[in-house]
Chains A and B, each alone.
Chain A
Amino acid sequence: MPAPIRLRELIRTIRTARTQAEEREMIQKECAAIRSSFREEDNTYRCRNVAKLLYMHMLGYPAHFGQLECLKLIASQKFTDKRIGYLGAMLLLDERQDVHLLMTNCIKNDLNHSTQYVQGLALCTLGCMGSSEMCRDLAGEVEKLLKTSNSYLRKKAALCAVHVIRKVPELMEMFLPATKNLLNEKNHGVLHTSVVLLTEMCERSPDMLAHFRKVRQLSSSQLVPQLVRILKNLIMSGYSPEHDVSGISDPFLQVRILRLLRILGRNDDDSSEAMNDILAQVATNTETSKNVGNAILYETVLTIMDIKSESGLRVLAINILGRFLLNNDKNIRYVALTSLLKTVQTDHNAVQRHRSTIVDCLKDLDVSIKRRAMELSFALVNGNNVRGMMKELLYFLDSCEPEFKADCASGIFLAAEKYAPSKRWHIDTIMRVLTTAGSYVRDDAVPNLIQLITNSVEMHAYTVQRLYKAILGDYSQQPLVQVASWCIGEYGDLLVSGQCEEEEPIQVTEDEVLDILESVLISNMSASVTRGYALTAIMKLSTRFTCTVNRIKKVVSIYGSSIDVELQQRAVEYNALFKKYDHMRPALLERMPVMEKVTTNGPTEIVQTNGETEPAVLETKPPPSGLQPASQANDLLDLLGGSDITPVIPTAPTNKPASAGGELLDLLGDLNLTGSPVSAPAPQIAQPPFLLDGLSSQPLFNDIAAGIPSITAYNKNGLKIDFTFERSNTNPSVTVITIQASNSTELDMTDFVFQAAVPKTFQLQLLSPSSSVIPAFNSGTITQVIKVLNPQKQQLRMRIKLTYNHKGSAMQDLAEVNNFPPQSWQ
């Protein structure tokens, strides 16, 4: 068996592959060779093979079959093997692998190895990817090494301890004693890692934090002064080639110390006091020409802003950030904006001073910088600078990337709402946003805007004119079109009458307005919701326009057969409004009142006080004939108190008035963007199929029936109901009752509904009443026909329910009719 090819050889070979397929072939061949070599348990070349495997793994090929081999390498006595073995473990044996824990024993042994480089490998591996169980098992070893005098090992042990604490926070306590004299080291590696360890402990545990603030360290000084001293030495010390970076000594350590100081000084006056001087010193003396100096300044600023520093220091910090903003280096500008964003709430005035620089950053080419500048700009808008800031932000909205537009638009709306200097300015700003970024505006902005516009009563004419002009040219931006449609629907009359005061009124005819609304309806670009807005707007104009009502009627009726169910339903209902309920149309389509604003974010809740009539939400669609009568019947079943009653099935029209307080369209439902449908009763006659068919062609009356005496079934509160009877000459089981309702009071009774229920053995049919209004002073009656089928010839009993409106209140009464003359049923 020839020796497996060398690692570099393999790399060279693979790199000659010209295609992905060629490479894959080479890899597969080599993997096969490696596999058989593993099977042979070859100790000599295991290391070489695993190394090759790791290379192929980096190229993206699977290498899991090498996992156990890594374990074997780690367990080997040869350093070369261990080196590759631990590398392989870190790449292939993370804690999600089953065999991960098998490493524990090897690592434990190696932590106690005589060669520090072996110990180092073990510490590194444990510190990079040890699982929680492994950490628990080996924490003791780590703690031991934390106390060694070997700085090479000590620094690694410190970071290992950090990892253990991250994985198993409960173990933090056990490392506390060892931290006592960590900072007495001269070795920078140990110092650095010790500071990291202390930082981790303080961040995780308030108790630890308190402990470190107070307790006396080994060399009789507290932690903060000790850190301050170390930092000072770094700054003041001479050139140290080993740690120097562009004239600054060990910037890494300086930054870590500053960060730990931040944690110690936060919310603690004493600690903050102790570090004031050194912070001022670092802030003023650090060289700013290179990135490294700025890195330190940056950390210093963050610390100053986070602790209880005196105001002079804070101003100094903000000014540093201000200088950063002017730096040519975009990285510096970037961190400056990030920091300013964090401090703008607490140090608002100081940040305001740099407003113009921040605004300039809106024009930066870097996307992240632009975003931060935008956020910061919004945070800085106030009553004084709103006009200028909005101008910049609107310009930004115009030219920025699409990913910003939605946030920017929302931000502008919010700021405009808070600080608008005048209503006209506010409307103009909204218009500007809608026209420049109309398609990016969030959906919930539309109802908010509409509410805003409604409330600016004196601006209605101006608003609708501007909106009209805006969509004339382009009606593709949905939110814009929605707002415009709604406004045109509401204020179309102002538009055509040319009443605008704010600017030159335009000449628009009713037809032109309808043209644009119809274009919106037809356009492929219009969303379903938008079409709904347009259709409703057209409908509203039927009460505001004078010459084009027929055109409107036509449009509405066309959409009665639209494929879009939402549109179809609206059109059908509006149609009904024209036909059957024309008398209600003006009231329903009246101008909206000023709306109460409930929330700032969601669609506004509309107060339902439109006109004098009370809108009621009806069933969305006219139910199939069986349904509504059934619900009526259920009510009546109660009347007769038992199951011996058959449901009454009156004809549908008589039901409709009963189901609602009034038959009114809920136009206010328009503003709910889920498109809850506006409903209206659809006239419908439903004939119960079974009853009285036999009678339809037969004369109902005969002479005998004419002789049946009539009765007064009900007489109360001025309402009198008389029953007159007729018997069918063809079907002796049928009795036809004609009721007559009269009103002796001085006021009309409106919305009158008569309902009846009979015992189970009977069947009943109610035909349509003549009207629903009983005029006062007995000046008229409502008549209604009831047909009763009484096949068993039982005594006729009936319970009736009356509902009507009288003197402004709803009246209701139940009564039993027992005085049927025998001739009516025998």
Chain B
Amino acid sequence: QIHFILLFSRQGKLRLQKWYTTLPDKEKKKIIREIVQIVLSRNQKTSSFVDWKDLKLVYKRYASLYFCCAIEDQDNELLTLEVVHRYVELLDRYFGNVCELDIIFNFEKAYFILDEFIVGGEVQETSKRSPVKAIEDSDMLQETVEEYMNKPAF
């Protein structure tokens, strides 16, 4: 099971936080600070895995964004890298050539897409198309188009 997913920039600014376990707010902030520091200090020559407490951190950088998942001891790290990659692909499919700014200005969409891919820390859909289609269909259901255009420009 994935315990949490964090997206943050190279300067350590948080862009998305999804928690699949219950923790106090203060604890979450502490964890974020700690993990951001650990990941940002890793150099190029190290692996993508870090032992952290009783969990394993799997992280990968895409352009200016770090994607970091915390998984349990019995979970497959290599597959988690694929999970992260699939998420980026989904974002890319939805936003078209996704970049960090897309995530910043449309953070709620990033969450919606994630929620179509993963529920309760487990992958719910392995198709590349399905999650994106679901979001697009949902977008069409929205009552006020003005502010929730499909792919808003910024």
- The chain B residue with its CB closest to the CB of A193 is B124
Q: In the complex, are the beta carbons of A128 and B120 less than 8 A apart?
A: yes
Tally inter-chain residue pairs, CB-CB below 8 A.
168
CB of A58 closer than 8 Å to a CB of B: yes
Report A126-161 residues with CB < 8 Å from chain B CB. 127-129, 152, 155-156, 158-160
Residues A330 and B46 in contact, CB atoms below 8 Å apart: yes
Task: For the complex, give the distance between the alpha carbons of A255 and B147 in Å.
Answer: 41
CB-defined contacts of B127 to chain A, threshold 8 Å: 188-189, 242-243
A751 to B12, CA, bound (A): 79
With both beta carbons as reference points, the residue of chain B lying nearest to A256 in the complex is identified as: B123
> Residues of B contacting A241 with CB < 8 Å?
128
Chain A residues 548-569 with CB under 8 Å of chain B are: none
CA of A251 to CA of B126, assembled, Å: 9
Contacts of B128 in A (CB 8 A): 241-243
| Residue B148 lies at the interface, judged by CB distance under 8 Å to chain A | yes
The segment from A279-287, A331-339, A785-793 found at the interface with B is: A331-339
Q: When the two chains form their complex, are residues B138 and A117 in contact, meaning their CB atoms are under 8 A apart?
A: yes
Judge whether A127 and B148 touch: CB under 8 Å. no
The answer on a CB contact under 8 Å between B126 and A299 is no
Give B12-54 as 1s and 0s: 1 = Cβ < 8 Å from A's Cβ atoms: 0011110110101000010000000000000001111111000
**Residue A659 at the chain B interface, CB threshold 8 Å:** no
Q: Is A366 an interface residue (CB 8 A)?
A: yes
| B141 contact set on A, CB distance < 8 A | 79, 115, 117
Give the contacts of B137-151 with A (CB-CB under 8 A).
137-138, 141-144, 147-148
Q: Which residues of B contact A716 (CB under 8 A)?
A: none
Task: Give the docked Cα–Cα distance between A330 and B48 (Å).
Answer: 8
Q: Which residue of A lies closest to B146 (CB)?
A: A6
A466 within 8 A of partner (CB): no
Determine the distance from Cα of A189 to Cα of B123 in the docked complex, in whole angstroms.
Answer: 8
Question: Nearest residue in A to B80 (C-beta to C-beta)?
Answer: A295
Q: Taking the nearest CB of chain B, how far is it from the CB of A782, in angstroms?
A: 72
Chain A residues, CB < 8 A from B10 = none
Q: Which residues 1-17 of A sit at the B interface, judged by CB distance below 8 A?
A: 6-8, 11-12, 15
Question: Does A774 count as interface, using CB distance less than 8 angstroms?
Answer: no
Cα–Cα, bound, A242→B124 (Å): 15
- Residue A30 lies at the interface, judged by CB distance under 8 Å to chain B: no
How many chain A residues touch B (CB < 8 A): the figure is 73
Q: Which residue on chain A has the smallest CB distance to residue B130?
A: A189
Q: How many angstroms between the C-alpha atoms of A128 and B121 in the bound complex?
A: 7
CB of B112 within 8 Å of the partner chain = yes
Asked whether A349 is an interface residue with its Cβ less than 8 Å from the other chain, the reply is no
Instruction: Find out whether the CB atom of A117 lies under 8 angstroms from the CB atom of B104.
Output: no
Q: Which B residues are CB-close (under 8 A) to A265?
A: none
User: In angstroms, how far is the closest chain A Cβ from the Cβ of B40?
Assistant: 15
Tally of contact residues, B, Cβ under 8 A: 53
Are B119 and A159 closer than 8 Å at their CB atoms? yes
Chain B positions within 8 Å of A808 at CB level: none
B63 within 8 A of A: no
Complex Cα gap A51–B110 (Å): 13
Q: How far is the CA of A11 from the CA of B105 in the complex (A)?
A: 7
Residue pair A335, B22 in contact (C-beta under 8 Å): no
Query: Taking the complex as formed, is B83 at the interface, i.e. its CB lies under 8 A from any CB of chain A?
Result: yes
Contact B78–A291 (Cβ < 8 Å): yes
A298 interface contact, C-beta 8 A = yes
Q: Chain A residue with minimal CB distance to B49?
A: A334
Choose from B17, B77, B105, B108 the contact partner of A331 (Cβ within 8 Å): B77
Name the A residues within 8 Å of B77 (CB-CB): 331, 334-335
- CB–CB B126/A252 < 8 A: yes
Contact B76 A96 (CB under 8 A): no
Verify B78–A189 contact, CB threshold 8 A: no
- Min CB distance, A61 to chain B, in Å? 11
CB within 8 Å of B: which of A48-100? 48, 51, 54-55, 58-60, 78-80, 83-84, 87, 90, 94-96
Q: Are B142 and A196 in contact (CB under 8 A)?
A: no
Chain B neighbourhood of A367, CB < 8 A: 46
- Give min CB distance, A212 to chain B, whole Å: 19
B124–A365 CB distance below 8 A: no
Within 8 A of B (CB), among A602-643: none
A163 within 8 A of B: yes
A129 and B22 form a contact (CB under 8 A): yes
A280–B51 CA distance with the chains assembled, in angstroms: 31
**A294 sits at the interface (CB 8 A):** yes
Q: Answer whether A331 and B48 are a contact pair too, CB < 8 Å, given A80-B142, A83-B142, A117-B138.
A: yes
Say how far A158's CB is from chain B's closest CB, in angstroms. Answer: 8
A51, B49: Cα distance in complex, Å = 34
Taking a contact as CB atoms under 8 Å apart, the answer to whether B143 and A78 are in contact is yes
CB-based nearest B residue for A191: B126
> With contacts A79-B142, A331-B47, A335-B78 known, is A250 near B126, CB below 8 A?
yes
CB distance from B38 to the nearest CB of A (A): 11
Contact indicator A58/B45 (Cβ below 8 Å) = no
Looking at the assembled complex, report how far the CB atom of A19 sits from the nearest CB atom of chain B, in whole angstroms.
15
Q: Are B124 and A79 in contact (CB under 8 A)?
A: no
Taking the complex as formed, is A245 at the interface, i.e. its CB lies under 8 A from any CB of chain B?
yes
Residues of A within 8 A of B129 (CB): 242
Check A58/B119 contact, CB under 8 A, given A80-B143, A189-B126.
no
Expressed in whole angstroms, the Cα–Cα distance for A704 and B40 within the complex equals 102
B122, A368: Cβ atoms under 8 Å?
A: no
Judge if A304 is at the interface, Cβ distance under 8 Å.
no
Contact A368 B126 (CB under 8 A): no
Is A58 in contact with B122, judged by CB distance below 8 angstroms?
A: no
Q: Contact at B82–A292, with CB atoms within 8 Å?
A: yes
- Taking a contact as CB atoms under 8 Å apart, the answer to whether A299 and B45 are in contact is no
Q: State A90–B138 Cα separation when bound (angstroms).
A: 18
B55 touches A (CB below 8 Å): no
A192: interface (CB < 8 Å): yes
Contacting residues, chain B, for A447 (C-beta < 8 A): none
Inter-chain CA distance A191–B153, complex, in Å, is 38
- With a cutoff of 8 Å between Cβ atoms, the chain B residues found around residue A83 in the complex are 108, 112, 138, 142
Knowing A55-B107, A83-B112, A242-B127, say if A196 contacts B147 (CB, 8 Å).
Answer: no
With A80-B144, A87-B111, A255-B79 known to touch, is A368 a contact of B125 (CB < 8 Å)? no
Judging by beta carbons under 8 Å apart, are B81 and A295 in contact? Answer: yes
Q: Are B14 and A255 in contact (CB under 8 A)?
A: no
A369 at the interface (CB under 8 A from B): yes
A156 x B119 contact (CB < 8 A): yes
Contact B45 A295 (CB under 8 A): no
Decide: A80 and B78 in contact? CB cutoff 8 A. no
Question: Residues of A contacting B119 with CB < 8 Å?
Answer: 123-124, 127-128, 156, 159-160, 163
Once bound together, how far apart are the Cα atoms of A55 and B83, in whole Å?
Answer: 25
* A253 interfacial contact with B, CB 8 Å: yes
Give chain A nearest CB distance to B132 CB in angstroms: 11
Contacting pair A162 B122 (CB below 8 A): yes
Which residues of A have CB within 8 Å of B126? 188-189, 192, 243, 250, 252-253
Query: Is A120 part of the contact surface with B, judged by Cβ < 8 Å?
Result: yes
Partner of B108 from the list A15, A54, A332 (CB cut-off 8 Å) is A54
Q: Which of B49, B82, B120, B128 has the most CB of A within 10 A?
A: B120
A469 to B4 CA separation, bound complex (whole angstroms): 55
User: CA A11 – CA B82 in complex, angstroms?
Assistant: 31
Most buried by A among B17, B50, B127, B134: B127
- Contact at B47–A160, with CB atoms within 8 Å? no
Which 7 pairs of residues, A with B, have the shortest CB-CB distance? A295-B78, A189-B125, A159-B119, A163-B120, A330-B47, A295-B79, A366-B46
B residues with a Cβ closer than 8 A to A are 14-17, 19-20, 22, 24, 29, 45-51, 76-79, 81-83, 86, 104-105, 107-108, 111-112, 115, 119-120, 122-130, 134, 137-138, 141-144, 147-148, 152, 154
Besides A127-B119, A129-B20, 10 other CB < 8 A contacts? A12-B154, A79-B142, A152-B134, A162-B122, A188-B127, A196-B123, A255-B79, A299-B79, A335-B77, A369-B47
26 contacts between A and B (CB under 8 A): A6-B147, A11-B104, A48-B147, A55-B107, A79-B141, A79-B143, A80-B148, A83-B138, A128-B120, A155-B124, A159-B119, A159-B122, A160-B120, A189-B126, A192-B123, A192-B124, A241-B128, A242-B127, A252-B82, A292-B78, A295-B79, A298-B76, A299-B76, A331-B47, A335-B49, A367-B46
